[in-house]
A and B are shown apart, each in its own frame.
Chain A
Amino acid sequence: MAPLPRILTALFIVCLAWGLSSCREREERVKVSLNKRQDITFRQQQPAITYACLPQYAHTESFQRHHLLVEYLTEETGLAIRQVFPETFDDHIKMFGQGKIDISFSNPFVYVRLANRFGAKAMARIIEEDGRAEFRGQIIARKDNKAVQTLKDCRGKSWVAVDPSSAGGYLFALGHFIDKGLNLGDFKEVVFAGGRQENVVLGVYAGLYDIGSIREGSLAVVKDKIDVSQIKVIENSRWYPGWVYASSPRLSPEVVEIIRTALLRLDYQQNPRHKAILDAAKCIGLVSSDDQDFEPVRDLSRKAGLYLD
Chain B
Amino acid sequence: MIERVPIPKILHRLRLRTKITLGVTFMLVFCGIGIGLILSNMSSSALIEEGKKRGMALTSGLALRLAEPILAMDFLQMKNFIDNVHSQYDDVIYVFLTDASGNILAHTFNGGFPTDLLGVNLDSRGAQPLLLATEERLIYDFNARVVLGDSNLGSVRLGLSRSDIDIQIRSQRLTSLVATLGVVGLGVVLALWFARTVTSRLIRLRESVEEIVRGNLDAHATLAGDKNFFDDELQDLAEAFDTMAMTVKNHIGELIEREKTIVRQQGLLKTIMSVTPDFITLQDRNLVYTFAGKAFCDDLDLPEAAVVGKTDYHIFPEQIAAINTEEGREILASGRTLAKEICLRRSDEKRWFHVIKIPVYDQDGSIIGVLSTARDISMLKKIQEQLVQSQKMEDLGRLAGGVAHEINTPLGIILGYSQILVEDIKDKELLEGMKIIEKQSQVCRKIVADLLGFARKSRSVSEAVDIVESIRTVANLVEHTFAMNDIQVVIDTDNTLPPLTGDDEKLKQVWLNLLNNAADAIDAGGIITVRARLGAEGKTIVVCVADTGKGVENAHITKVFDPFFTTKEVGKGTGLGLSVSFGIIKEHGGTIAVFSPCPAEYQPADFSRLEHCGPGTVFIVELPVPLFN
Contacts and interface: CB of A to CB of B under 8 A. Distances in A.
B114 A35 contact: yes
B71 A63 contact: yes
Specify the main secondary structure of chain B where it touches its partner: mixed
Interface string A14-29: 0110111011100111
Contacts of A87: 72
Given A1-B3, A22-B42, A30-B120, A63 B148 contact: yes
Interface string B88-128: 00000010000001011101010111111100110000000
Contact of B133 (A6, A32, A35, A43): A32
Given A3-B2, A60-B67, A60-B71, A34 B34 contact: no
Nearest to B7: A2
A306 B44 CA distance: 67
Interface string B457-496: 0000000000000000000000000000000000000000
Which of B48, B130, B138 has the largest count of A CB atoms less than 10 A from its CB?
Answer: B130
A39 interface: yes
Interface residues of A, number: 42
Which of A29, A39, A58 has the largest count of B CB atoms less than 10 A from its CB?
Answer: A29
A39 B112 contact: yes
A28 B116 CA distance: 17
B133 A30 contact: yes
B133 A31 contact: yes
A185 B42 CA distance: 69
B334 interface: no
Interface string B135-146: 110110100000
A32 B132 contact: yes
A29 B38 contact: no
B151 interface: yes
A85 interface: yes
Nearest to B105: A42
A19 B117 CA distance: 36
Contact of B131 (A15, A27, A36): A27
A195 to B, nearest CB: 13
A74 B44 CA distance: 53
A39 B104 CA distance: 11
A16 B149 CA distance: 50
Specify the main secondary structure of chain A where it touches its partner: mixed
B37 A20 contact: yes
A156 B456 CA distance: 179
B115 A29 contact: no
B113 A38 contact: yes
A58 B68 contact: yes
A87 B104 CA distance: 22
A283 B48 CA distance: 49
A269 interface: no
Contact of B4 (A2, A37, A62): A2
B113 A37 contact: yes
Contact of B5 (A2, A35, A59): A2
B114 A34 contact: yes
Ranked nearest first, the 9 interchain pairs of A and B with the lowest CB-CB distance are A37-B112, A19-B37, A15-B34, A59-B71, A29-B133, A32-B132, A19-B38, A85-B72, A34-B114
17 contacts: A1-B3, A1-B4, A6-B2, A12-B30, A15-B38, A16-B37, A24-B41, A24-B44, A31-B133, A32-B120, A33-B114, A34-B135, A42-B103, A43-B101, A59-B68, A64-B148, A85-B73
